Structure 1
């Protein structure tokens, strides 16, 4: 069998490839042997010869962005040899706000915000994907969530059918990321919630037979895209700030929505 690299644990034997992994071949007696093994896969990552050589030489790999945990969730880490065992090692960077479940540090990776105890026999399972419905969460937004608050409302989330929608994010009682679709209360019926779809800002009572509120503001009017600020100004002040409208078949003009 071909020697791949010097064993990084005993420094006497060499790593050779077997059916299940790369094993140290040092064996002189039952009391003088090395059982160090690098298995063929870790967290869904195939251990190629190149990775094995790097791990044996440096006792750590480069950072991988395509590792997968037992719940089939992606995470980023490098693999290191720790007391003869291959373990994930996360970036040293962490959020200022501690984990709301256990009080430990929340590590930052390219794809997740994850409690440092997640891989310690899963003593804490706090795990927040950075990509939520097509939106990449910032570190500041993660801090907001961990502090028990909701993120700012935004209208660039993507549904499974690739249509935009509006929402803010919060952590529920199980510390799972959830959507809150209410932008504000309806200024017309006062009881409905305004939500945002790809075409309009609309009241949740539009299908309520007892109230039937049809309050709607299109997201584009006369060539002007109606922003969240425009709409909230309309609801709170009765009209938006003056802006430029550019209708297709007429001249540009200055006005406001009211």
Structure 2
């Protein structure tokens, strides 16, 4: 293994370091005997997979092959000091924002592993269905990794469709449609089906038409980018956009001096 050797402490004995040799990745402590073979269930163990396994105790779901040549999907885990396959529990790629525990996919959504068992120490979960919309694993992973994205397809009890974003309040996942203050009039900027719209657009006395399209030249504008525009006047980084002929170009989104619309710079 490369210079990551010095960072990987043996997950079994806690004393030795995981080192690469001709047999695979082994613990430097002779009395330990922990080893990750070069191939596990006919899968080549790359450095990336080894780091995941040693640091987190599991990998994501992988395509594996048993001794009979049958293919199956499972995560690799460290069990009783050895590398094994675990198809009984599906972990998703993200940590619990409350306690840092691993997140499991369950029949009712995505739960912190520390909320399961006889003595739970955490109760965090992401419901699998919110306002008549299924929360996909991709949605959950993006949320857990701090990527604030606008989601559409939610529906009220009267089946009125709306868009929103996920947030955490008092340790619980909830929908948050308000994402920033309108830079033009100071009203609330909400997630809409096609754009981020000022709540004052229906104000009869002082209507505000400020909005930011959710999709601009092939780029899905994120909640975080909208916050940057509204609070700082410009996106932090350049964004990848596309022309009609497929040409890629990079620009930042910025408020006009009048703060009534956005432009590319």
Same fold (TM over 0.5): no
Q: TM-score range by the shorter chain?
A: 0.3 to 0.5
Larger radius of gyration: 1
What is the TM-score normalised by the length of structure 2? 0.41
What is the TM-score normalised by the length of structure 1? 0.42
